[in-house]
């Protein structure tokens, strides 16, 4: 297959929707997702003469978009300051022996984990819960679970320490669990 021919006149009609669909759950903001797709097309247009044809046009555009998203995370990571101290999260969910407090221990959701939740309702509620996370938690969660980046890559992209990463991911999981229990499991 010859990947060496680009067709910039068709980029928007062929790829705008799928690039947007990829960006939106990662940034949780329609305007930002639209901007990232536009920036992707602009960057591709500027770099079109350097395209070597080593990947398909579609894959090349996705690679540019992924880099734009990481740049977005990096910028956002510098702009956001966490307000809740590490000790506050520990005191909220765990006792002196680092066991769950009685009020905050995980509930038995009664779910068959072999099949997993497959309902549109679950994914809709999960997305709503994810949007309630702090912006930096949303970024870390998306990079970890949507983009499958490892902790080192995430820390580098966001300019955070490893310990800050683990606190953020832990908080995100706790808050998502609480939100799902309130809005899906026990509703």
Beta-bridged to residue 74, according to DSSP, are: none
Q: Which domain holds residue 178?
A: 86-185
Q: How much is the average pLDDT of 13-33? A: 91
CATH code: domain of residue 46: 1.10.1740.10
Choosing from 79, 101, 120, the residue where a domain stops is 79
Q: Which residues contact 13 (CB under 8 A, 6 or more apart)?
A: none
Residue 107 sits in the same domain as residue 149: yes
Residue 105 sits in the same domain as residue 42: no
pLDDT recorded at residue 121: 76
Residue 171 sits in the same domain as residue 96: yes
Integer-rounded Cα Rg, in Å, for the chain is 20
Where helices occur in 28-103 by DSSP H, the ranges are: 30-47, 57-79, 86-93
Choosing from 79, 94, 128, the residue where a domain stops is 79
- Assess if residue 137 is contained within a domain: yes
pLDDT recorded at residue 81: 44
Higher pLDDT, 134 or 4: 134
In this model, does residue 96 exceed pLDDT 90?
no
8 Å CB contact between 66 and 153: no
Return the SS3 of 132: coil
Residue 97 sits in the same domain as residue 58: no
Percent of the chain exceeding pLDDT 90 equals 23
Residue 70 sits in the same domain as residue 93: no
Q: In total, how many domains does the chain have? A: 2
Per-residue pLDDT reduced to its tens digit, 160-180: 888 888 888 888 888 888 888
Assessment of whether the complete model's pTM goes beyond 0.95: no
Residue 100 sits in the same domain as residue 67: no
Residue 91 sits in the same domain as residue 180: yes
- Assess if residue 1 is contained within a domain: no
In this model, does residue 123 exceed pLDDT 60?
yes
Higher pLDDT, 16 or 8: 16
Per-residue pLDDT reduced to its tens digit, 66-92: 999 988 887 776 655 444 444 455 556
Residue 28 sits in the same domain as residue 93: no
């Amino acid at each position: 297959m010859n990947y060496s021919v680009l067709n910039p006149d068709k980029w928007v009609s062929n790829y705008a929707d799928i690039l947007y669909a990829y960006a939106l759950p990662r940034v949780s903001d329609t305007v930002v997702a639209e901007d990232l797709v536009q920036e992707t097309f602009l960057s591709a247009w500027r770099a079109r003469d350097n395209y070597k044809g080593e990947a398909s046009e579609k894959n090349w555009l996705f690679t540019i978009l992924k880099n734009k998203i990481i740049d977005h995370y990096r910028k956002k990571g510098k702009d956001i300051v966490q307000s809740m101290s590490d000790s506050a999260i520990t005191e909220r969910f765990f006792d002196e022996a680092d066991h769950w407090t009685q009020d905050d221990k995980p509930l038995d959701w009664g779910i068959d984990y072999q099949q997993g939740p497959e309902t549109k309702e679950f994914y809709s509620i999960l997305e709503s819960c994810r949007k309630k996370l702090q912006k930096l938690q949303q970024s870390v969660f998306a990079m970890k679970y949507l983009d499958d980046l490892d902790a080192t890559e995430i820390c580098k992209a966001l300019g955070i320490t490893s310990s800050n990463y683990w606190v953020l991911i832990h908080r995100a999981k706790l808050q998502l669990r609480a939100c799902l229990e309130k809005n899906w499991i026990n509703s």
